Structure formats: structure tokens, C-alpha cells
Amino acid sequence: MKRNFLLLAVITGVIAFLAVSCFKKNGTLQTKSGDGPVSYNFDIRPILSDKCYACHGPDAKKREAGLRLDVAESAYAKLKDGKGYAIFPGKPEQSEVYKRITSVDPSYQMPTPESHLGLLNENEIGLVKKWIEQGAKYEKHWAFTTPVLPAVPEVSSEDWPKNEIDHFVLQKMEGVGLSPNEEADKSHLLKRVALDLTGLPPTVEMQKKFEADGGEKAYEKIVDELLAQKTYGEKMAIYWLDVARYADSYGYQDDEYRTQWPWRDWLINAFNKNLSYDQFLSWQIAGDMLPNANKEQVLATAFFRNHKYTEEGGVIPEEYRIEYNIDKTKTFSTGVLGLTVECAQCHDHKYDPISQEDYYRMFAFFNNSKEQGFEGDISRTKPAKMPVMTISDEEAKTLLKFINRPDTSKLMVSVLGDLDTLRPTHILNRGVYDAPGRVVTAAALPAVMKFDTIKLPQNRLGLAKWTTSKSNPLTARVFVNQIWQEFFGRGIVKSTGDFGMQGDLPTNPALLDWLAVDFMNHGWDIKRLVKQIVTSATYRQSAKITEEKLKADPDNIYLSHGPRYRLPAELVRDMVLSTSGLLNPKIGGPSVKPYQPKGLWEAATSGRGTLRTYQQDRGDALYRRGMYTFIKLTVPPPSMIIFDASNRDHCEIKRSKTNTPLQALVMLNDPTVLEASRVLAERMIVKSADVQANIRASFQRIVCRQPTEKEMKLLTEYYNSEASTFSKDKKHAFKVLNVGEYPHEPKVNEVQAAALMRVINALYNMEETITKS
Amino acid sequence: MEKPIFDFGINTTRRHFLSKLSLGLGSAALGSLLIPDLFKGGGGDAGVDELMAGLPHFAPKAKRVIYLFQNGAPSQLDLFDYKPMLNKMHGQDLPESIRGTQRLTGMTANQAKFPLAGSIFNFKQHGKSGAWMSELLPHMASIADDLCIIKTLNTEAINHDPALTFFQTGAQVGNRPSFGSWLSYGLGSENQNLPGFCVLLSRGKGNGQGVYSKLWTNGFLDSVHQGVQFSSGENPVLYLNDPDGMDRTQRRKMLDNLAELNQGTYNEFGDPEITAKVQQYEMAFRMQTAVPEITDMSKEPESIVKMYGPECLVPGTYAANCLLARKLSEQGVRFVQLYHQGWDSHGGLPTEIKGQCMDVDQASAALITDLKQRGLLDETLVIWGGEFGRTNYCQGTLTKDNYGRDHHPRAFTVWMAGGGVKPGIVYGETDEFGYNIVKDPVHVHDFHATILNQLGLDHEKLVFKHQGRRYRLTDVAGKLVKGIIA
């Protein structure tokens, strides 16, 4: 332990020193300056919510001293013990809250030491004081008020903005004395936008064409071209697959195969045909209930059926039926509304005004399904669970022609479908299936927006209408924020899945609202939104980070440089396959099983079911895009997980971005990367023996720019030294080339190919290669 | 000093930190596997402030954990919890007054009768505490004075998946971080070349239940805290081995070239993530040497092989994993998690459990003895047990010498050794039917709270803020089991 203490002490010391130095400098960027009114929503609520609401908030059962600080009437009222007021507007010294947060007496101070919430810091105390002085005005939580279109702000550098987004961004930047970077050079910009829109790096032809086009509209033209590609739908689908916790098996212990993939094919197609977001949601929430619903609309509801499903013998069906509905409720609230409501499953929410009753009323929308909790153990497995939709060959040729499979016999998908009669929904005490309480009817969260039972049916169709109403304060905000995160690496609201009171505040609230309202006003048009973002000057900035900017704004909250992030897991694979020429561009169809380290499924299986052993695919199925890699829930594909992909166990709206030695090992030793290096090297060598030209061409394919002279020199020397090693021992070269199932080029010079393969493998391992910058 | 640290904690990021410091601090600061995740990357919500408040929270008694998980649930009634009453009443129905309102699994809920099944195995008392153990565990019996046997573990789940998930993550459902991930997050790793949380799998011949990688998931913590699964195949860690034809010198040369290429990118973009990447490649390079050294059993002296049994030389067996666990732990790996499958004896229990005990008895005891002789037992907490227990009544047909047992969550036995728990004691009591607890219950949350305590962590303070809520391993419960703490 000594060593750790020591290390901690050293780090602590350095941090303390740094903290003093940079906190002073950054003070203006990070905290509110001394003057001006204090905002309840932006300054005070985060403090009260984090430090007080757990005991003095919405949860009636946990409320201490009968005191509630989240609503004005209660906070202003005389305290229950009759001694004064919690908050006395205008007079901090007479407010119990202020007295207690500034107290040093452990028996009196708040938060109490036992709560482990920590005391307020000086800055926070100062804000609370000023807020009380200014009248302690409460406001409705910002995210629960309907957004209105803000005016586009004036900025001083008028020649920089390319569209409205830039006005909002620049105004913030100017406010803190930052200025935007120059536009990224053409090669980096093209790589960035191609990866963001299609998930694939630009081809060499595209690079050359864009480089040669000196026209003013060159960039816009390329954006339109990319948006029109079918690969756009694949790229967009990836994040929604995380939201939808899509997988190819049932999860739980035996983890048998299931076929939800036709829904995934629908999803890709929905993005490609640019289905408007309100319809996109309506179909997935209630496609089966739409008037004259067609099969495509019913298929969309499979979104809610991607949850795990148990086939463990001996379970109690009702326990699991409830569990599946809890999962659906979570997916809806987190993925669509950007709220965490799970707490209210067992008790009133501690931070947000969501009661346990509210929770079960929302739960009730999903509780009338024909779904069962258990359909038998794995010996009676089927690839879909009731209610099920089957797809005929005829339908796959017409209405559902996006389903990529020639033979659809026995193809079935789990979808939504309700009972004809109403199954009563109970509030479940402590959230437990066998402790039913009062019966409630279906309604959406009143804190967000009233669910008008006169105008809306109390079923999923009503929920869909409520969700896609232009008055709903969350739906559009949450979505544009999610899309923003896709392009900039972090949302305007950083906590993408929590727009509640404990969530992060928007770093640019006016921009968020402008995007949301503009999006709704233009028919919830997703492609338009995406185009708006990628054509903004904000997006087009160079990603270079100067010392000054790094110091002033390490998180790039003010967006004074372009985004620079490592690619998501699926795209790392796509990058390798596409630049080597191995990529099989087929869209959709059943998931595939590419190379995977031996023994993983076998080590973890119960020994039952068709997925107990990993049956690797052969031929061109080995070269499909990362999003088609088979996801067995109990053993998700390792190279994906190592690069932070979701394990698809639950709805996820944000992946972490780590940098680990295991990632290095994948890029160095995964046969996929080695095979791609080998295949590209062999193809090059067969065409030409010109070392310099081959290195240059590989570099341009893989890194998507011309190499510098320094890089050329280094890589050429590396090539020469490897070639000289291999020429002494041709068997060695053969050994190196002997990787992967893809056929070798005939008559290839093995020494040259092996040396070039080493160079290419180094290129794949460059940080820049798997980074959008 | 605490104040500025706190401020820094909420206002900094990994990027910022790296840009200021680590270019000089060297590999130590960059191995996220090495230090606690003080400087989170882009993902997840900041939970930094709490962590910065000082870890560990108090002086730890244990530095490391080895958890020998007996997957499928061993029968406490045939191993530790001696109940002669069951033999006396063999074949008679479990009195309803004892069964109470306990919910039963779908496998026995519809049985017309619940005939009690006495163990066919002989029990004897061992060690100073006089702990009862059956003849199936002669080696464990021989180290009874080192064991802290808890007879009163209890859980809420009645099926494998939720019960396992509960033990490993503190919740029956949900994508929560596993125990080992919490420790990696809270305490980091002591070794620069090895992951802080390693997972080893093995399987016996008994009825098996799968394991799932969500049991060693990082949940909402950064993925650097995920358990790294070791395998007995050609790659002890996924993707570890260099491909054919790549020797160490060539790999070194490649990495040097790569570092130079990446330096060029850094010069242009100034992004500290680039330098971090170079450092991760260096750690990967070191792991490539460190891991094979540690998984190589060929240099183990004969005395060790004898102690663990000959199976310890067969990769992938429980015995080999016990030996590997000792080696990893010795090298500073914070949490070594073993799973041994095959304990789910719904029928044919006497035969199945014999095989399972053959697999685990000697090696489990050897691990304790081995740690002890190296002076490591004091600082290493070893845990042995399953996800629930088994019923005192028979599932299926009961005969004189054959029976099966269903899942029993209400009371079951787990033992611990080392790491500041009292040696040579038996804690807690069940009733004469072994069905209900009559003294000193230990809930899963209490169990977690106590283990964290031994590692110097206050289970109420080890928190991570995610989507607006402070999460703990012990959720909102957990009491220290003071009676087992030395």
C-alpha cells in the first residue's frame, strides 16, 4: 500500500499546485463572474439538487423535517419546528439554509456529515447567498419548458459564420476571449466528414476529386454526395442500435439465437429514406396501432422488443414479464426523453419531479402487450417471442425489400402487439413484481408535459403523439443533442441521457433551443439537421489544439477548434477493411461471425443451445462492416468491446472513449488487421515494384492524406530494413504473409510483399489513422 | 489543501491533466490501468470529486482479493452446514412452518411434496473452532484454522443469472460495474504491466450454468476497469501474442517507428491523447513479456505442484487457475476472479458434488497455504462460495442414496481467509433444518460492504456519479459484519 500512498501523495501535491495556478487563470471560463443576476436554473438548482434534494426534495418518503427545497412555497414557508424559515427571500442571514451551509458545527451543518455529500464550496455558498439576496426566485427546470426559437445573435467577426450555428458558437467564444481555428485543410476535413456521414474513409478517387475542385461549393457538393450514399444509413444506425440495445441473442444464461436483424435493416433504410424523426419515433412506439398499419410500421416496433429474454428453466414468468417492461420503460425514457426514471420504479424520484405513480403510469403503456414472461426453456426455443411478425418472400420483395435475405421462410421478428382487453397496471411496492399496490392508468410524465387524456388515447398511440408533439420540451432537444454528440464528441448537454435536474446544463442553451425548434419547424428532417451541422464553420475548423486553447478550455466546450476523436469500435474495423480493399459492402441481412480469438464462447457457455460454440463464417462474410458482427450478449465481440462498444445489455446513449494497451494489442495482432495489411501489400506489389510509389499510395489510402517527406523517409527506411531481413530468409517472409483466409495473389514477390505488409501494418497503427481529426 | 483539489477535480479532464503533467511524469500517469481513474476521458459523467477526497478511506487490512466463485451454487448441506435432523427426518415433508413464504423456483414450485434429504456424506469437526465439514473436503478441513466460515449468507434472487449478477455487481439486473471494476476504480493497480482485474474460468463435470462477461463488466465506469479474461488457449490474454514471424526485436523496431510517426502527428495537432496512445503501446509491449512469464507454470517447483495437485499443470483447470491467481496476486493484481462451473445439482447430487469437490478441494486449500507461506495471506483476502445455496428438500425422486436439491437463497455458506478477517471461526447459525437463519444473517450487501472495508474503502463513500445519481456497489444498503473482522 505504501507505494500507492506515495504515488497518490505525489499526484495530490502536483495537482494542488496546478489547481491553484490554473484555477485562477481559468476562473473566468469556468465560473460565473461576480456581477449580474444569479440564475436559479443555471447556478442554484444544480447545487440544491446535488446537495439537498436527496433529503429535502421530491421523494416524499425520504423527506427530512417535512422540508422541501425544490418548490418555492415549501421553501419559503415557516419551518415545521416553528423556528424561522428555510429560505427567507432577500435575507440570507435569516435563512436557515444559508446558516446551515455556512456552519462549521457538524451537528448543525448541511449537508450532514453522514450523508457523504460533501459541504458546499466557497463559490457555491456565494451563489446561494446572492440568490437569496436577489429574492430567491425559483424557475421551472429549463428542460421542462417548451423551447422557443431564440434570435440569432450578432457577432463581431461577421465573415466567419457560415450558418446560424456559427453565430451562437462565436458569440460564446467571443464572450470568453477565444477565437475560432482556421478551416481544416482539405484532406483532414474530407476524412472527418466522410467518416461522420458514412462511417468510411474517403476513397483515393474522392480525395483527388475534392482536392482538385477549387469551387466555392466544393465542400457542399461532397457533403451532398456523402448524404446520398447508402452507407449514410449504416453510420446513423450505429448509435440508435445502442439506444435500442440491439443484439443477436436472448441474453441471460443459455443465450440462444434470435432474429431481430430485419428490424436493423429497417433502421438503416429509415435513415436512408430520411424518414422524419417524428414518424421514426411514432412507428417504433406504436407502428402497430397506426390506422391501417402496414407491415413496415409493425416491424419498426421491434425496437422495443430487443430487450433480453430469459430461457432459464425454473423462473417465475411474471417476474420477467415485469422486467421486460421495465426495460422498455427505460429505453423510452432514456433514449427518447433523455431522462433517468429508474429510481421511481421503487420510490419517488429524489431529484426530478417524477413520482412512483408517474413511473407506473408510463410503464402501463407497455404493460398491455401480448408478451409472456417465459415461453419455456431453451429446449423449446424460437428465434422470436410473442407477439411475432413473420415475413414472407413476397413481402421481402415488395414492401419490405430492404430486408436483405433471399429466402425468408421461417423468418420471424419479435414486435409489439397489445391485448384486446386491458391488463391492470399496479404500482409495485419497492419495484418488486410480487408486491402490487394501487392500480393506475396509462399517462406520460406530467412534469415533462401534461398527457391530455381527452385528446389522446391512453395507449402507445397516445404516447407517440405526446412524444412527437411540438410542445414536448424534451424530444427534439434530446435528439439534436444526440446528433451533436455524434459529430462533436460531446453533447451541448454533456449528460446526453439525463436532461433532469442532476444532469449537466447545456453549455450553449440558445444554440440547443435554436437547433431543436428549427428542426421541428422543418418537419423533423434528420438529413437537413445533419447537413446544417457539417456545413457550419464550427464543424469545419481545424482540430489543432494550441497550448493556449488547451489551457483555457481543455474540454473544448467553447468549440474553438474542430473535433478530434478516436473512431468508434465498428468504424475501426471498417477503416481497416475498406482501405485494404477487403470490405464487402453488402447492406443488412443476418449478422456474421468474423475471426474471433478461439474458445471464448466455449469457455462461457452453459453447454446448451446453438451458440455454445463459435462457428466462424467463411468467404466474403469475413469482410462485412463492424455493425454486422454477431452480438452474443453474454460474450459480446471482444475487439468491439475493447474499443468501447456498448455490450448492448441496456439502452445506452453514450460510449466512453478510452485509450488502453488492449486496443494497441488488437491493432498489432488481430488477424483482421494483419490480413488487411497482407492483402493490400500483395495487391500493390503485383501491380508495381516501385517502393516509394507503393508506400505513398498505401499512405494515402489509409491515412487519407499525402505523407510528408519526413514520413516517407522513415517508412522507406523501415521498408528497406524489413526487406533486407526477409531476403536473408524467404521462409520468414512466407510465415509473415501466412495470415487470413483471403487468397494470396499469385506470383507475388514474397520478400517485397512482407516488407510492405509491415509498413502498412504500421500505418494502421498510427494514431491518426483511426482518429477523425 | 483539500479545497483546491476539489476544485481541480471538477474542472479538469484527462486531457488537461495530460497536457500539463504527464508528458513529464512518464508511463506511470498514463497507464489508466495503473492509477485510479482520476482523470476521466470524454465518456461517463464526472465522479471525480468524490474520489479525490482521498483513497483509501482508511488504512486497509487487505490489498488484494482472490474470489473463488463456485458457479451454480454448491450444496452447503453436503459440505459445511451439518444437519443431522435432515437424516433423522429423511423422506418426511419439510414442515410448512419452516418453509414459510419463501418463493420457490418454477422447477419445484409444483412439486406435491418437499421430502427432506439428509446428506449421505459423513461430517466431522475440524480445527480449534470445531467447524463441521464433510468428508468431501479433506484439504479444506486441514486448514480449518485459517478459515472464517459464514453460514448465513442470504440473497434475494432465486435463479442463477440474477443471483450471480447480484453477487458480482450488487444488483440483480442492470449494467452495473462488477466488484473487481469498483476496486480497480477505487484503488487502481499495483502493477504497471498487468491489468488490475483478471478473470479466470474453469469448468467441472457437474451440471453447468454459463458465465457471462457482464459479470466482469465495467458498467458505467470507464472500460479500463473492465476485467481482463485470461484464457488457457494460445493467447493467455486476447490478442497478446505477436503474429508468426514477428520477434521482439522486430516488434521493438516497429514500435519505435510508430512512435516517431505519432510524434509527427502530435507536433501538428498538439492533442495529448496522441502521447497517451504511444504510452499505451509501450504498456502493451511490456504486457507481452509480463503475461507469458506469469502464465508459464513450467518453472514451478515440485513442492508447489504437489501442493496444488498435478492438475495445476493443465491450463484451464481450477487447480491451474488457483496457482495462476496466486502468481497474479503476488504481482499486485488487485482482484483475481475465478469461476468454476458445474455445481447446479438439481439431480444426482451425490455423484456430481463428489466430482466438483475433487476439482476444487485441494487447490483451494493449497492457495491458502501457499499465500500463507509467502507471507501474503495477511494482505490477501480469499473468498470461496456460490450465488446461493441448495434446498434441504429433494428435487425429483428421493432414494436412500440419491437426491437433487433446488436453489435456496435464504441461507448458505461462504468462507473467507486472510485479509484481516478472523481465522478459525464459524459465523452465524441456521435452524436445525438448515432452512432459515436463526443468528447473524449476512446479506449480499453486507458481504460487499465488509469486503470493501477490509480494503480500506467505506462502501458508502466509494461512489460514482452516473446520469445524475451516485451509485455504490452496495446500492442503498449494506452493514459491516463486525463479527468477522479481526
Q: pLDDT (tens digit, 9 = 90+) per residue, A707-740?
A: 999 999 999 999 999 999 999 999 999 999 999 9
Q: Which residues pair with B125 in a beta bridge?
A: B132
Grid look-up 494542488 returns: A16
- What sign for the dihedral angle of Cα B184, B188, B189, B190? negative
Distance CA(A340)–CA(B467), nearest Å, equals 7
Q: Which residue from B minimizes the CA distance to A184?
A: B269
What is the residue-averaged pLDDT of chain A? 92
Averaged pLDDT, A324-340: 96
Distance CA(B421)–CA(A90), nearest Å, equals 56
* Contact (CB<8Å) A323/B173: yes
What is residue A353's predicted lDDT score, i.e. its pLDDT? 85
**B231 band by pLDDT with thresholds 50, 70 and 90:** confident
Q: At what angle do helices A356-363 and A317-330 cross, to 10 degrees?
A: 100
Q: What distances in angstroms separate CA A555 from CA A177, A529, A538, B227, B348, one per listed residue?
A: 16, 24, 15, 28, 61
Return the beta strands (E) in B60-173 as ranges. 64-71, 123-126, 131-134, 147-154
What is residue B32's predicted lDDT score, i.e. its pLDDT? 32
User: Which of B41, B244, B277 shows the shortest C-beta gap to A736?
Assistant: B244
Most B CBs within 10 A among A30, A328, A606, hence the mutation to make, goes to A606
For residue B269, list chain A residues with Cβ-Cβ distance below 8 A.
543-545, 564, 773
* Contact (CB<8Å) A647/B21: no
Q: Which residue from A minimizes the CA distance to B209?
A: A606
Are the C-beta atoms of residues B18 and B275 closer than 8 Å to each other?
yes
What is residue B190's predicted lDDT score, i.e. its pLDDT? 84
What is the residue-averaged pLDDT of chain B? 86
Residue B42, pLDDT > 90, answer: no
* Contact (CB<8Å) B19/A323: no
What whole-number percentage of chain B has pLDDT above 90?
69
What is residue A406's predicted lDDT score, i.e. its pLDDT? 65
Averaged pLDDT, A494-506: 90
Most B CBs within 10 A among A433, A560, A669, hence the mutation to make, goes to A669
Grid look-up 446551515 returns: A100
**B219 band by pLDDT with thresholds 50, 70 and 90:** confident
Are the C-beta atoms of residues B184 and B314 closer than 8 Å to each other?
no
**B94 band by pLDDT with thresholds 50, 70 and 90:** very high
What is residue B21's predicted lDDT score, i.e. its pLDDT? 29
Q: Residue A710: which residues within 8 A CB-CB, separation 6 or more?
A: B264
Distance CA(B393)–CA(B374), nearest Å, equals 43
Distance CA(B220)–CA(A423), nearest Å, equals 35
Nearest Cα to Cα of residue B266 among A220, A547, A201: A547
Are the C-beta atoms of residues A594 and A624 closer than 8 Å to each other?
yes
What is residue A453's predicted lDDT score, i.e. its pLDDT? 94
Residue B39, pLDDT > 50, answer: no
Distance CA(A772)–CA(A735), nearest Å, equals 34
Q: In terms of DSSP bridges, do strands B228-230 and A771-772 run parallel, antiparallel, or are they unpaired?
A: unpaired
Nearest Cα to Cα of residue A144 among A352, A362, A454: A352
pLDDT digits (tens, 9 = 90+) for A264-275: 999 999 999 999
What Rg value do the Cα atoms of chain B yield, rounded?
24
Most B CBs within 10 A among A601, A713, A768, hence the mutation to make, goes to A768
* Contact (CB<8Å) A600/B161: no
Give, in degrees to the nearest 5, the angle at Cα A109 between A107 and A110: 125
Sequence length of chain B is 486
Are the C-beta atoms of residues B39 and B5 closer than 8 Å to each other?
no
Residue B292, pLDDT > 80, answer: yes
Averaged pLDDT, A17-25: 32
- The amino acid that residue B469 corresponds to is R
What is residue B208's predicted lDDT score, i.e. its pLDDT? 79
Residue A142, pLDDT > 90, answer: yes
What is residue B54's predicted lDDT score, i.e. its pLDDT? 65
Lowest mean pLDDT among A278-282, A470-474, A644-648, B30-34: B30-34
Residue A13, pLDDT > 80, answer: no
Q: What distances in angstroms separate CA A207 from CA A204, A210, A710, one per listed residue?
A: 5, 5, 22
pLDDT digits (tens, 9 = 90+) for A683-712: 999 999 999 999 999 999 999 999 999 999
What whole-number percentage of chain A has pLDDT above 70?
95
What is residue A503's predicted lDDT score, i.e. its pLDDT? 86
Residue A613, pLDDT > 80, answer: yes
Number of other residues whose CB lies within 10 A of the CB of residue A159: 7
Q: Tell me the ipTM for this assembly.
A: 0.89
Q: Which residue from A minimizes the CA distance to B279?
A: A661
Return the beta strands (E) in A300-411 as ranges. 388-390
Higher per-residue pLDDT: A118 or A556: A556
pLDDT digits (tens, 9 = 90+) for B47-62: 444 443 467 888 899 9
**Single pTM value for the model:** 0.86
Q: A111 is written with which cell numbers?
A: 449537508
Is A173 buried (19+), middle (13-18) or exposed (0-12) by CB count in 10 A? buried
- A70-79, A533-542, B467-476: which is most confident: A533-542
For residue B60, list chain A residues with Cβ-Cβ distance below 8 A.
1
Lowest mean pLDDT among A101-105, A197-201, A612-616, B15-19: B15-19
**Burial annotation A35-56 (CB, 10 A radius, 16+ → b, else e):** eeebbbbebbbbbbbbbbbbbb
In chain A the first and final C-alpha atoms are separated, in Å, by: 41
What is residue A35's predicted lDDT score, i.e. its pLDDT? 62
What is residue B105's predicted lDDT score, i.e. its pLDDT? 85
What whole-number percentage of chain A has pLDDT above 90?
80
Upstream peptide bond of A111 is cis (omega within 30 degrees of 0): yes
Residue A598, pLDDT > 50, answer: yes
For residue B19, list chain A residues with Cβ-Cβ distance below 8 A.
547, 550-551, 554
Q: A481 is written with which cell numbers?
A: 443533442
Q: B205 is written with which cell numbers?
A: 463435470
Are the C-beta atoms of residues A628 and A589 closer than 8 Å to each other?
yes
Q: What distances in angstroms separate CA B399 from CA B165, B190, B396, one per listed residue?
A: 34, 53, 10
**A349 band by pLDDT with thresholds 50, 70 and 90:** confident
Most A CBs within 10 A among B6, B11, B229, hence the mutation to make, goes to B11
What is residue A705's predicted lDDT score, i.e. its pLDDT? 97
Residue A17, pLDDT > 80, answer: no
pLDDT digits (tens, 9 = 90+) for B412-452: 999 999 999 999 999 999 999 999 999 999 999 999 999 99
Distance CA(B310)–CA(B302), nearest Å, equals 10
**B25 band by pLDDT with thresholds 50, 70 and 90:** very low
Q: A228 is written with which cell numbers?
A: 446520398
Upstream peptide bond of B56 is cis (omega within 30 degrees of 0): yes
Distance CA(A277)–CA(A476), nearest Å, equals 9
Farthest-apart Cα atoms in chain B, separation: 82
Averaged pLDDT, B173-190: 87
Distance CA(A603)–CA(A608), nearest Å, equals 12
User: Which of B12, B239, B460 shows the shortest C-beta gap to A669?
Assistant: B239
Grid look-up 452474443 returns: A632
Q: A600 is written with which cell numbers?
A: 471464448
Sequence length of chain A is 773
Higher per-residue pLDDT: B1 or B356: B356
Q: B439 is written with which cell numbers?
A: 443468528
For residue A323, list chain B residues with Cβ-Cβ distance below 8 A.
173
- The amino acid that residue A259 corresponds to is T
In chain B the first and final C-alpha atoms are separated, in Å, by: 34
Q: What distances in angstroms separate CA A363 from CA A327, A501, B11, B21, B431, one per listed residue?
A: 10, 22, 38, 49, 41
Distance CA(A186)–CA(B234), nearest Å, equals 45
Averaged pLDDT, A465-484: 98
Q: Which residues pair with B197 in a beta bridge?
A: B335
Distance CA(A149)–CA(A353), nearest Å, equals 26
Q: In terms of DSSP bridges, do strands B123-126 and B64-71 run parallel, antiparallel, or are they unpaired?
A: unpaired
Lowest mean pLDDT among A22-26, A167-171, B433-437: A22-26
Higher per-residue pLDDT: B10 or B338: B338
For residue A254, list chain B residues with Cβ-Cβ distance below 8 A.
210
* Contact (CB<8Å) A550/B272: yes
* Contact (CB<8Å) A661/B260: no
Most A CBs within 10 A among B1, B2, B3, B7, hence the mutation to make, goes to B7
Lowest mean pLDDT among A452-461, A644-653, B186-195: B186-195
Alpha carbon of A654: minimum distance to chain B alpha carbons (Å):
7
pLDDT digits (tens, 9 = 90+) for A218-244: 999 999 999 999 999 999 999 999 999
What is residue A477's predicted lDDT score, i.e. its pLDDT? 98
Q: A269 is written with which cell numbers?
A: 433504410
CA A662 remoteness from chain centre: 22
Are the C-beta atoms of residues B484 and B451 closer than 8 Å to each other?
no
Helices (H) and strands (E) in chain B, counts: 17, 17
For residue B456, list chain A residues with Cβ-Cβ distance below 8 A.
1
Q: B40 is written with which cell numbers?
A: 476521466
Main-chain phi, psi angles of A390, to 5 degrees: -105, 155
Residue B246, pLDDT > 70, answer: yes
* Contact (CB<8Å) A603/B29: no
User: Which of B8, B158, B242 shows the shortest C-beta gap to A23?
Assistant: B8
Q: Which residue from A minimizes the CA distance to B110?
A: A314
Lowest mean pLDDT among A464-473, B52-61, B83-92, B167-176: B52-61
**Burial annotation A402-441 (CB, 10 A radius, 16+ → b, else e):** bbbbeebeebbbbbbbbeeeeeebbbbeebebeebeeebe
What is residue B51's predicted lDDT score, i.e. its pLDDT? 44
Averaged pLDDT, A10-28: 35
* Contact (CB<8Å) A315/B406: no
Averaged pLDDT, B264-291: 93
User: Which of B8, B209, B231 shows the shortest C-beta gap to A606?
Assistant: B209
Q: Residue A145: which residues within 8 A CB-CB, separation 6 or more?
A: A473
Are the C-beta atoms of residues B247 and A722 closer than 8 Å to each other?
no
Averaged pLDDT, A341-346: 86
Higher per-residue pLDDT: B295 or B12: B295
Helices (H) and strands (E) in chain A, counts: 32, 6
Percent helix, strand and coil across chain B, each rounded to 5? 40, 20, 40
pLDDT digits (tens, 9 = 90+) for A543-569: 999 999 999 998 899 999 999 999 999
Q: Which residue from A minimizes the CA distance to B475?
A: A343
Averaged pLDDT, B181-200: 88
Residue B37, pLDDT > 60, answer: no
CA A726 remoteness from chain centre: 45
Are the C-beta atoms of residues B115 and B91 closer than 8 Å to each other?
yes
Nearest Cα to Cα of residue A289 among A359, A365, A362, A358: A365
What is residue A501's predicted lDDT score, i.e. its pLDDT? 81
What is residue A285's predicted lDDT score, i.e. its pLDDT? 98
What is residue B62's predicted lDDT score, i.e. its pLDDT? 95
* Contact (CB<8Å) B223/A641: yes
Q: What distances in angstroms separate CA B232 from CA A405, A600, B297, B298, B324, one per listed residue?
A: 38, 10, 12, 14, 11
**A151 band by pLDDT with thresholds 50, 70 and 90:** very high
